[in-house]
Structure 1
Amino acid sequence: MTVTSAQTADGALLDEPAKRLLASAKTAGDRAAAQALVEEETILAHRSVLSVLGLLDTPAWSPVRWEGLTGRVYSLGLDEEQRAFLGLTLSMVGIGQVTLAAVTDLGERRLAVMLRAIARLAGNDTLAVGTRV
């Protein structure tokens, strides 16, 4: 399911920073990365991440600063799995050099979010990602 500017894939309402992040996405990479971060939820819960992105205590018209995250990944208070997810997400917007092998550090939930993001990046919003029964 595509994440809209009002709710996540599971129907939860978005807060203002998440709405701004999604609204700021202009390219396919930006959209895939923004939706992945919104779906993942825990990374955007860190004030440090919101601050570096320019989504905290800034005017609504100010740009999102993806590049600000690159040099600060280890100082944001994220755990190893969150850092791996963030690195993969940043690679979607053309920032950083994280290999696809970083998916081995992701748990099942974050892996599913990342797989949906990769499908979106490829222009496929209909590919089902989940457990087969």
Structure 2
Amino acid sequence: MSSTETETAAPEAPDPEAEYQQLSTELLRNTRIPRHRAAVQALIEERTILSLPAVQRALIVDSSKGRAAQLTELAGLQYALGLDEGQRRFLGLVLSMVGIGITTLSAVEDLDDRRLPIILRAILRLAGNEDIAVGRRL
């Protein structure tokens, strides 16, 4: 390879998975209130919602310690974030865990097989119990 080729080579694009993991780590590290932490963990596990740029703009704030989640900002924007119905219902349940909104627990009826275990684990975290396993019955 000539020196001209090395100079014009484009820099490597950042790895989206590594960026998501870094964001997840920062958000959890900077979330101190246990119920907010359970909600943030649920959003991280669900992934499709937190990966949306509109959600990131509404949720994430820069703090002196890094990026942090500001869940109250999402409440009024649920219908303006470009979420599908399943994402909106999941987000409503997550926000209700921190006392935002009026989504009732009966909304779990509308969750798919992927999101239901995430909410169940989040409820256990909220209750301070990480000993009960959530998974499929054999």
Deviation at 1:24, TM superposition (A): 2.0
TM-score by length of 2: 0.79
Q: Give the equivalent residue in structure 1 for 2:13.
A: none
Aligned match for 2:93, one of 71, 88, 92: 88
Aligned match for 1:50, one of 50, 56, 60: 56
- Answering whether residue 77 of structure 2 is matched by residue 77 of structure 1, we say no
Aligned match for 2:111, one of 106, 110, 123: 106
- Asked whether the 8 Å contact 1:17–1:50 carries over to 2, the reply is no
* 1:12-59, Cα deviation, whole Å (9 max, x unpaired): 86433222221122112011101101111111110000100125xx45
In 2, the alpha carbon distance for the partners of 1:24 and 1:96 equals: 23
Q: Which has the higher strand share?
A: 2
Deviation at 1:104, TM superposition (A): 1.2
The 1:63–1:44 alpha-carbon spacing in structure 2 relative to 1, beyond 3 Å, is closer
Q: Kindly report structure 1 stretches of 4+ aligned residues shifted beyond 3 Å.
A: 58-63
- Answering whether residue 30 of structure 2 is matched by residue 24 of structure 1, we say yes
SS state at 1:15 partner = helix
TM-score by length of 1: 0.82
Percent identity over the alignment is 48
Alignment RMSD, CA only?
A: 1.8
Count the aligned residue pairs.
Answer: 120
Instruction: State the structure with more CA Rg.
Output: 2
The 1:108–1:82 alpha-carbon spacing in structure 2 relative to 1, beyond 3 Å, is same
